């Protein structure tokens, strides 16, 4: 029997967790999430299975390490009947948030990949160790299955970009391979495909990816021109746990006091909304605003000003903007956030109405008031974009 639909396993390797998402084509058929818990003073790992119908089940077993959990994932997928001789894995996708020319492209993992990952641990100490662990376990557990690193900046590293450089000495740029590579590339790549498919393409568009991490990208004729994230996802907008752009001197001072790795961790994991409001859940922050909590209001207003300001910056650089797109969890679901941002942009020709629901049959909604420029809400699908690119990568070597 010929396996026509490709089957991919996508990995999300964190410092203390591992998520496995199994796809047939673009459809997620099952996911496994291993997370650490404390038990009798020791760390153990438990697994939750989520099936295509959304039902969750906690596996009645515990593991001592994520390495052990990784091997168990294969057993579970085979036991559930998702992987077998008739339906073998076509590839394993490892999303890579890492900077540099090499990581601005997708690759089938080889010795060169592992060497390049070692180099970028200096600038990406949070993400890279988990990525390396995931790759090594994947190659050991799923022998003879291609493992592919999927770049989080590939869709953004195009000749159309106008903001890729830093004003630093050339020898420093070259030594550390520095550049404004950007991130959330799988989301923006999907949007660059999806917007023309929906017949919504305008000359100057701004896409706001607002979720746990937040960024903004400007498109000219459907191609990336400017993006808010830089060498790492820390640059740009404040988000749930990230500072966003701050005076670089602060980073240097934190590095001197705590060490570079701890400083980077603090700015990525312990800052942003959670530092200001005590929560990284936008729904809780909005509730706090309604209850007149000063910290919540300060965090909310700073978040809104950041997004609106970045839209204004990119509009100025493009000489105007013809449409705005909101996507990702907050962008798609939070009417208060969208309305607050758009309320600052009426001078640019935008005004939102708050009673428009997403029409799933159309795949988008225009939440702009009549007579104003379009404001689109379009669901993103990062997995679909990575699967498409993984298929192209495999086809290129066959």
Which residues are part of the catalytic machinery? 152
CA atoms within 13 A on the CB side of 397: 12
Q: Which residue has the tokens 């013809």?
A: 322
Q: Sign of torsion, CA 137 138 139 143? A: positive
Selection from 98, 123, 118 nearest residue 251 by Cα = 123
CA atoms within 13 A on the CB side of 170: 0
Report the b/e string of 192-227 with b at 16+ CB within 10 A.
Answer: bebbeeeebebebbbbbbbbbbbbbbbbbeeebbbb
Do you know the residue count of the chain?
A: 398
Nearest-5° Cα angle at 105, 137 to 241: 70
Judge residue 6's burial from the number of C-beta atoms within 10 Å of its C-beta, 0-12 exposed, 13-18 middle, 19 or more buried. middle
Residues sharing a CB contact under 8 Å with residue 30, sequence separation 6 or more, in sequence order? 21, 22, 49, 50, 51, 52, 77, 80, 82
Nearest-angstrom CA–CA distance, 279 and 294: 13
Q: How many of the other CB atoms lie within 10 Å of CB of 262?
A: 14
Selection from 193, 202, 102, 110 nearest residue 147 by Cα = 110
Are 117 and 98 in contact by the 8 Å Cβ rule? The answer is yes
Strands 365-366, 7-13: pairing is unpaired
Instruction: Lay out the sheet containing 7-13: strands in order across.
Output: 56-58, 42-51, 27-39, 17-24, 7-13, 91-96, 147-151, 107-108
Q: Helix (H, G, I), strand (E, B), or coil: what is residue 365?
A: strand
């Amino acid at each position: 029997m010929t396996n026509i639909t490709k089957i991919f396993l996508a990995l999300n390797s964190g410092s203390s967790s591992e998520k496995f998402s199994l796809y047939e084509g673009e459809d997620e058929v099952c996911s496994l999430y291993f997370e650490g818990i404390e038990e009798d003073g020791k760390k153990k790992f438990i697994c939750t299975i989520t099936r295509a119908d959304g039902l969750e089940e906690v596996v009645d077993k515990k593991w001592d390490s994520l390495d052990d959990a990784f091997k168990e994932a294969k057993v579970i997928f085979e036991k559930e009947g998702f992987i077998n001789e008739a339906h073998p894995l076509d590839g394993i996708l490892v999303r890579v948030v890492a900077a540099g020319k090499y990581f601005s492209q997708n690759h089938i993992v080889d010795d060169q990949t592992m060497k390049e990952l070692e180099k970028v641990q200096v600038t990406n100490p949070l993400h890279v160790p988990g990525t390396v662990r995931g790759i090594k376990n994947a190659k050991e557990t799923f022998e003879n299955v291609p493992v592919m690193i999927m770049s989080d900046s590939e869709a953004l590293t195009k000749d159309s970009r106008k903001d890729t450089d830093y004003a630093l000495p050339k020898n420093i740029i070259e030594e550390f391979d520095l550049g404004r590579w950007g991130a959330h590339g799988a989301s923006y790549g999907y949007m660059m495909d999806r917007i023309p498919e929906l017949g919504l393409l305008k000359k100057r568009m701004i896409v706001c990816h607002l979720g746990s991490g937040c960024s903004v990208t400007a498109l000219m004729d459907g191609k990336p021109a400017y993006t808010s994230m830089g060498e790492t996802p820390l640059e740009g907008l404040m988000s749930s746990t990230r500072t966003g752009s701050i005076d670089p001197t602060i980073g240097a001072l934190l590095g001197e006091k705590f060490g570079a790795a701890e400083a980077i961790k603090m700015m990525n994991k312990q800052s942003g909304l959670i530092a200001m409001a005590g929560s990284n859940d936008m729904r809780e922050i909005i509730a706090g605003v309604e209850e007149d909590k000063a910290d919540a209001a300060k965090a909310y207003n700073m978040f809104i000003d950041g997004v609106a300001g970045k839209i204004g910056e990119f509009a100025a650089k493009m000489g105007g903007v013809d449409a705005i797109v909101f996507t990702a969890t907050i962008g798609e679901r939070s009417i208060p956030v969208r309305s607050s941002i758009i309320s600052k942009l009426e001078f640019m020709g935008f005004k939102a109405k708050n009673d428009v629901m997403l029409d799933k049959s159309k795949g988008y909604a225009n939440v702009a008031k009549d007579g104003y420029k379009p404001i689109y809400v379009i669901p993103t699908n990062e997995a679909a974009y990575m699967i498409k690119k993984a298929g192209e990568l495999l086809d290129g070597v066959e």
